[in-house]
Amino acid sequence: MRVAMSIGTSPRDRVLAAVHRGRLLETAVRLVSIPSPTGDAGRAADCLAGLLGEAGLEVERRDAGHPAAPAVIARLRGGGPGPTLQMDGHLDTVHLPFVPPRVEGDLLRGSGACDMKGGLAAAVEALRALKDSGALRRGAVLLTAHDLHEAPWGSGEQLDRLIGEGLRGDGVLIPEPLCDRLPVAGRGAATWKVAVRRPGPPVHEVMRPEGEPSVIAAGAELIRRLGRLDEELARKRDPLAGRESAFVGQVHSGEIYNGFPRECLLEGTRRWLPGTSPGEAESGFRAVTDALARDTGTMVETTYRVIRGAFALDLEAPLVAAFRRACEGAGFRPPEPGPKPFVDDGNSFWSLARVPAITHGPRAGGQHTLEEWVSIDDLVRVARAYALAALELSELSDAAGEAP
């Protein structure tokens, strides 16, 4: 649908008038109505690509290593050169029983309503408003949506591939459900599993061979050494994001009080700050488990999985100025800087490509539960701010570059 453009109306007014609550809600309901557990977001991606195509946008699909659900890429180009504002979201949801969409007053409920199909629908509506209003004169807007976000079923590998292929803007907005602060620092995270084993068969403890190592004792030694590592890591601190850490969350060994076990399993996390690379964090951790094997005569198998790198946002980035102006233009106070409590795709943009990323989404809750909800009015607020951010970024720039 095309909005009438009266002479003398500013591009900002035109784009704000082109954001439609009903169309936004319909998009959110359609996305929520398609189950898309992580790894299996193909049908939701097809639906989104269809909606964007119907809106007259240029749509591309790229499998980026995950042909079951090729990522959705839509572009809108202004008339002249300028920066590209990217809006990025994930289509997958955590593996919980599917809850269909349901509207109750101002709330949309259902799987992914909060995390983050609601926010993604707001970004789609922002893009449609920019297209319908014809208000974007320079630069471009890039919308990307993908699968494989939610751990432990995914670890952002599809998005990492897209970023690696150069599919990235000059700044990214991520409509995850966080709006009470402007996240400027966050820790990177990895999960780890360690299996400590001994060579011999399972036996009664009175039959255990002389000199055969105890996997429980070796596991305890690992806990002690990781405690020491954690103390050292505590010296690395950020006033907002907190401290680095090595954490043990689970230990399992043995079947019966007088059996001599063959295996001790431990699991936990490693978190680090901007300034430490994921590789450094991993090699420091592996140094501890490698030394444990040597010192205890056990076989130690370490599985270490990086979830996301650390995150930082430069408050001097043009994206930040554009976002703050957009908040004011959409009628609300820009949020104050604060920590990012979780890892999200903004971590990937910053840690892999140093692209400034702002996580800002609707008022919503119940993520990773069966009780997800999002405020529909707040989705409209986000759509308006996102659409204005594209105009503000294009006006702030000195025609920095072409669209990717």
The answer to the question of residue 385 lying near Zn ion (CB under 5 A) is no
Q: Is 44 in the site for Zn ion (CB under 5 A)?
A: no
Secondary structure element (H or E) that encloses residue 49, with its range: helix 42-54
In the complex with Zn ion, the residue whose CB is nearer, 88 or 115, is 115
**Residue 176 or 378: which CB sits closer to Zn ion?**
176
345 binds Zn ion (CB under 5 A): no
From the list 76, 80, 78, 91, the residue with the least C-alpha distance to 41 is 91
Q: Give me the least distance between CB of 92 and Zn ion, in Å please.
A: 9
Work out how close the CB of 115 gets to Zn ion at its nearest, in angstroms, rounded to a whole number.
Answer: 4
Contact pick of 73, 78, 112, 115 for Zn ion (by CB under 5 A): 115
115 vs 263, which CB is nearer to Zn ion?
115
Q: Which region among 40-48, 78-86, 109-117, 217-225 touches Zn ion (by CB under 5 A)?
A: 109-117
Most distant pair of Cα atoms in the chain: their distance: 93
Nearer to Zn ion, 365 or 404 (CB): 365
Nearest CB to Zn ion, comparing residues 132 and 372 = 372
Closest CB 89 distance from Zn ion, rounded Å: 8
CA distances from residue 156 to 64, 91, 163, 361 in whole angstroms, order as listed: 11, 12, 11, 19
114 binds Zn ion (CB under 5 A): no
CB-wise, 96 or 217, nearer to Zn ion? 96
Which of the ranges 56-64, 113-121, 316-324, 380-388 carries the binding residues for Zn ion, by CB under 5 A?
113-121
Q: Which CB atom, from 93 or from 298, has the smaller least distance to Zn ion?
A: 93
**DSSP string spanning 266-319?**
EEEEEEE-TTS-HHHHHHHHHHHHHHHHHHHT-EEEEEEEEEE--EE--TTSHH
Least CB distance from residue 176 to Zn ion, whole Å?
A: 5
Pairing of strands 107-109, 102-104: antiparallel
Task: Name the minimum Å distance from CB 107 to Zn ion.
Answer: 18
- Interface segment toward Zn ion; rule CB under 5 A; list 107-115, 152-160, 178-186, 269-277: 107-115
- With helix as H, strand as E and coil as C, how does 202-217 read? CEEHHHCCCCCCCHHH
Counting residues that bind Zn ion (by CB under 5 A) gives: 3
DSSP output for 120-148: HHHHHHHHHHHHHHT---EEEEEEEEES-
What b/e readout covers 304-343, taking b as 16+ CB neighbours within 10 angstroms?
Answer: bebbbbbbbbeeebbbbebbbbbbebbeeebbeeebbebb
Stretch that binds Zn ion, among 11-19, 133-141, 174-182, 347-355 (CB under 5 A): 174-182
- Cα–Cα distances (Å) from 232 to 191, 202, 243, in that order, read 19, 37, 10
Stretch in the footprint of Zn ion (CB under 5 A) among 59-67, 161-169, 176-184, 234-242: 176-184
Distance of alpha carbon 85 from alpha carbon 64, whole angstroms: 21
Which tokens is 287 given?
């140094």
With respect to Zn ion, which residue has the nearer C-beta, 116 or 135? 116
Q: Which two tokens stand for residue 245?
A: 């850490």
Question: Shortest Cβ distance from residue 116 to Zn ion (Å)?
Answer: 4
Neighbouring residues of 256: CB distance < 8 A, sequence distance ≥ 6? none
Q: Rule CB under 5 A: say whether 24 interacts with Zn ion.
A: no
Binding of Zn ion by 116 (CB under 5 A): yes
Q: What are phi and psi of 397, to 5 degrees?
A: -80, 160
Our CB check for Zn ion shows the closer of 48 and 218 to be 48
Site for Zn ion, rule CB under 5 A: 115-116, 176
